[in-house]
């Protein structure tokens, strides 16, 4: 009789983060050896409702088969006889999502799931003083104040390939000024120009533009603080402190939205005095046409019109 195969995943259902173009390893460990007779390991990518979407890899005995667009880009790590972890190379945007590791011995089977997420998010930023008010030094500092860093050219390219479309020019880390266009139109470099990064080239660092920032995956918890009443900005700051947290920064809301799928249709104060809300599931009265972090503006901080988003570091 075949030995029952048990699957133990020490780090599932952890979120594994990687940028497009990089590599990632989704962990899966067996309590029994892979080389026991009849042991089969199957990796699949799942739909949002957890139904199987794509076969990724099938391992049986000493042979493995990869499928479709994963062919020649995935393999079992096989660091030891109990390692069934999946290595994905040259990660594409469509690779981001949920995966299942399923193990069978011909009689019994078990499965565990994990998530492959982006490792960071690029977002455009302008200060409370309005558009095109940041020289290069101030732009760099503005990103740092939002728990982010000024984005690189490559990061902006990857964000554009992932669908970022923004018509305001912003500083990048190399001192160039660019903006990403996925839907060409007249006010944004012309409707006849192809989609891509519009470039102003290297600029005098005293010139004034917006900035593109890059926020990494959160190392804490971003959340909406439930309150009985709407708050002024000062009350919002204090409410987060009273909850053992800090008022969230713009980098936090973008990372939570893009990397964790955070979705809430309530406008809330952030640390820079702006009011925003993250929508990952477009719907009427929230963001009907696109997933986005919606920007309400920089309202008068004395008005009690909004709630607050907090951030609690680990």
Work out the end-to-end distance of the chain between its first and last CA atoms, rounded to an integer number of angstroms: 47
Strand partners, 247: 310
With 0.85 as the threshold, say if the pTM is over it. Answer: no
Bridge-based pairing state of the strands 268-269 and 210-216? unpaired
Instruction: Provide CATH code, domain 8-118.
Output: 2.60.40.10
Nearest-angstrom CA–CA distance, 106 and 108: 6
pLDDT band of residue 149 (cuts 50, 70, 90) is: very high
Quote the CA–CA distance of 139 and 136 in Å, as a whole number: 5
Closest CA to 118 of 222, 248, 15: 15
What the block records as the tokens of 288 is 């009907």
Residue 6 has pLDDT above 50, yes or no: no
Handedness of CA 258, 264, 265, 268 (dihedral sign): negative
Burial (0-12, 13-18, 19+ Cβ within 10 Å), 7 = buried
Domain assignments of the chain as residue spans, ordered by start: 8-118, 120-215, 217-313
Closest C-alpha to 135, from 234, 194, 204: 204
Is the fold of 120-215 the same as that of 217-313?
yes
Count of alpha carbons within 13 angstroms of residue 303, beta-carbon side: 11
Answer yes or no: is pLDDT of 8 > 60. Answer: no
Confidence of residue 167 (pLDDT cuts 50, 70, 90): very high
Minimal CA–CA distance to 78: which of 95, 102, 96, 62?
62
CB of 166 closer than 8 Å to CB of 124? yes
Q: Is the pLDDT of residue 208 over 70?
A: yes
- Measured at the CA of 115, the angle between CA 270 and CA 10, to 5 degrees, comes to 110
CATH annotation of 217-313:
3.10.100.10
Alpha carbon distance 293, 65 (integer Å):
40
* pLDDT, tens digit, 9 for 90 and up, residues 248-294: 999 999 999 998 899 999 999 999 999 999 999 999 999 999 999 99
Whole-angstrom Cα distance, residue 181 to residue 170?
13
Question: Which of the four pLDDT bands, split at 50, 70 and 90, describes residue 106?
Answer: low
What is the distance between the alpha carbons of residues 56 and 70, in angstroms, rounded to a whole number? 6
pLDDT the model gives residue 83: 86
Beta strand ranges found along 49-195 (DSSP E): 52-60, 63-66, 74-76, 86-88, 97-104, 109-117, 120-125, 149-150, 170-171, 176-181
Q: How many CB atoms lie within 10 A of CB 47?
A: 11
Alpha helix segments (H runs only) across the chain = 136-145, 153-161, 233-242, 250-260
Range 120-215 has CATH code 3.40.1190.20: no
pLDDT mean over 203-230: 95
And the tokens for 63?
Answer: 């042979």
């Amino acid at each position: 009789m075949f030995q029952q195969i048990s699957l133990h995943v020490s780090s599932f259902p952890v979120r594994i983060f990687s940028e497009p173009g990089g590599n990632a390893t989704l962990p899966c460990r067996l309590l029994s050896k892979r080389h026991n007779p009849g042991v089969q390991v199957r990796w699949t990518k799942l739909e949002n409702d957890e139904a199987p979407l794509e076969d990724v890899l099938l391992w049986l005995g000493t042979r493995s088969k990869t499928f479709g667009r994963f062919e020649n880009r995935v393999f079992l790590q096989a660091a030891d006889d109990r390692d069934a972890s999946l290595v994905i190379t040259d990660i594409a945007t469509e690779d981001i999502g949920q995966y299942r590791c399923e193990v069978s011995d011909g009689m019994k089977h078990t499965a565990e799931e994990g998530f492959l997420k982006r490792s960071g998010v690029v977002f455009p930023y302008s200060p409370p003083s309005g558009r095109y008010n940041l020289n290069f030094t101030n732009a760099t500092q503005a990103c740092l104040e939002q728990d982010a860093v000024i984005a690189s050219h490559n990061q902006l390219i990857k964000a554009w390939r992932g669908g970022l479309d923004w018509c305001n020019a912003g500083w990048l880390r190399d001192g160039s000024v660019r903006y990403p266009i996925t839907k060409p139109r007249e006010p944004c470099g012309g409707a006849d120009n192809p989609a891509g990064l519009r470039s102003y080239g290297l600029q005098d660092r005293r010139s004034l533009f917006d900035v593109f920032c890059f926020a990494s995956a959160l190392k804490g918890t971003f959340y909406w603080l439930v309150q009985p009443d709407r708050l002024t900005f000062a009350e919002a700051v204090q409410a987060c402190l009273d909850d053992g947290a800090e008022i969230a920064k713009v980098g936090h809301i973008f990372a939570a939205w893009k990397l964790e799928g955070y979705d809430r249709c309530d406008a809330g104060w952030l640390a820079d005095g702006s009011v925003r809300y993250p929508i990952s599931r477009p719907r009427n009265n929230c963001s009907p046409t696109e997933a986005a972090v919606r920007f309400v503006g920089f309202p008068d901080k004395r008005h009690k019109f909004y709630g607050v988003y907090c951030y609690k570091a680990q």
